[in-house]
Structure 1
Amino acid sequence: MYAQASAKIELPSYLPQHESSSVFEGAIVQPVSFFSAGAEIYAQGEKAGALYRVEFGAVRVYRLLADGRRQISAFHLAGETFGFEADASHHFFAEAINATGVRVYRTPSGMDMSRHLLPLALKGLTRAQEHLLVLGRQNAIERVAAFLVEMSERQGGLRQVELPMSRNDIGDYLGLTIETVSRVFTRLKEKGVIRLLSLRSIEILKRDTLLAMGE
């Protein structure tokens, strides 16, 4: 893993909820590493064995398909942990979306961390199952609505939701084209469900409507 310095660091406008510190009990804590936008944190096939926590910024985890397309499997925001693997190698790439700080927790040789890692593994499994349910929806509006609700909940249920990822990232996560994602955002805006504050920030105006769309 390598770090890159960032000249400007923008902290999220919401306060992150750090995952249980019990996950890191006994781990070797390393200083925060800084990654610029697009910098690789680890690659598919690299040796695993460490946990990564986002201190600020955001991370996308993805795999390249045989035809060259990219499938994003997860986004990780400030306070969230990623990098857990069932075996000794990483099965995905991890990349900083914007200026990001990541703290690495390494497991001492011979130490059994299974008891601490179980909650993290179960949480990851739950999110993966929810993502599969979203991908199973045929309606693009349902997929985007469910995604926006999830992002809001992960940021404390705020009306104003930060979206550090691009529309292209969202499309690669939801199995949609960037054009479709953009059309859905415009349609939700026209219906008065959301307000587009910027390319990376929205305000949810009708939360109940958005929830109903995503169910």
Structure 2
Amino acid sequence: MQTADAPLNSHAAPSIALLRGPAPTRKAHEASALGSVRRLVKDEEVFVEGDRAAFYYKVQSGAVRTFKLLSDGRRQIDAFHLPGDIFGMEPGEEHRFSAEAVGDATIVSYRRSNLGALDQDDGDVPTQMMSAVLLSLVRAQNHMLLLGRKNAVEKIATFLLDLSGRTANNDQIDLPMSRTDIADHLGLTIETVSRSLTQLERQGVIELPAHRRFIVLRNRPALERLDM
């Protein structure tokens, strides 16, 4: 695994409105009551690969990463889950990935055994579950293409466009993850991530303010051309 460092400053995967919808209805509050709120600190585990998949989760604040540790100690980050995202849903009885908080985060955990009750009480919940599964599939397909066919700068461009499509102010991205996280997600080294970001900044495509947690997108069409 690469050493940790300070946080950094295809077209984005389509958003699923149901995961970031309007103010909760009475039924949604009832459904939420079946979940348990959990507050996490940086790097705190949610579950570990091989754990029994008795729960699934929804991010309320912060970010969660899901990942696998390879036999040689390297880490491959599968996805970053942001507020509104559902994660931890499994087809089998065990988790295939590990999950932990990127920074301070709040999640809601739901028992898989309660899905039947939710189906009866709130017709929106099964739709949310299906939307979450479809969104995960889209992102997994995009990530597979990114890892297999794109160079370093193209990977960074795709990553930034995806994040920008998942944030309210999509021309200014607050990155909760470190350069190490980005490298482990994109299959790059930390040095390559830094060089690629600097290259994009010199070309006027992005801006890296002094506060390195932020990236400003200055030329979205240029990023989109790199993402094609």
Q: Same fold (TM over 0.5)?
A: yes
Partner of 2:77: 72
1:92 to 97, 101, 104: 97
**Closer, same or farther in 2 for the Cα pair 1:203/1:152, shift >3 Å?**
same
**Closer, same or farther in 2 for the Cα pair 1:110/1:145, shift >3 Å?**
closer
Partner of 1:56: 61
Q: Are 1:46 and 2:58 matched, yes or no?
A: no
Shift of 1:101: 0.5
CA deviations 1:2-60 (Å, max 9, x no partner) are xxxxxxxxxxxxxxx66168999868623321111011111111110322111110011
CA RMSD of aligned residues (A): 2.4
TM-score by length of 1: 0.84
The 8 Å contact of residues 57 and 99 in structure 1, kept in 2 or not, is answered as yes
Partner of 1:208: 221
Partner of 1:7: none
Bigger mean CA deviation after superposition, 74-83 or 193-202: 193-202
**Closer, same or farther in 2 for the Cα pair 1:25/1:186, shift >3 Å?**
same
SS in 2 for 1:108: helix
How do residues 1-215 of structure 1 correspond to structure 2 at under 5 angstroms? 19=19, 29-108=34-113, 111=116, 115-116=126-127, 117-156=129-168, 158-197=170-209, 198-215=211-228
Bigger mean CA deviation after superposition, 58-67 or 136-145: 136-145
AA partner of residue 130 (structure 2): L
AA partner of residue 158 (structure 1): N
The 8 Å contact of residues 37 and 108 in structure 2, kept in 1 or not, is answered as yes
Shift of 1:126: 1.0
AA partner of residue 208 (structure 1): P
TM-score by length of 2: 0.79
SS in 2 for 1:45: coil
SS in 2 for 1:170: helix
CA distance in 2, matches of 1:30, 1:181: 38
The 8 Å contact of residues 36 and 110 in structure 2, kept in 1 or not, is answered as no
SS in 1 for 2:116: coil
**Closer, same or farther in 2 for the Cα pair 1:36/1:127, shift >3 Å?**
same
CA deviations 1:121-180 (Å, max 9, x no partner) are 222111100111111224100000000000000114621111111111001000000000
More helix by share: 2
SS in 1 for 2:42: coil
Gaps of 5+ in 1: 1-16
The 8 Å contact of residues 46 and 90 in structure 1, kept in 2 or not, is answered as yes
Gaps of 5+ in 2: 1-16, 120-124
CA distance in 2, matches of 1:108, 1:134: 35
SS in 1 for 2:113: coil
AA partner of residue 118 (structure 1): M
CA distance in 1, matches of 2:167, 2:144: 21
The 8 Å contact of residues 63 and 70 in structure 1, kept in 2 or not, is answered as yes
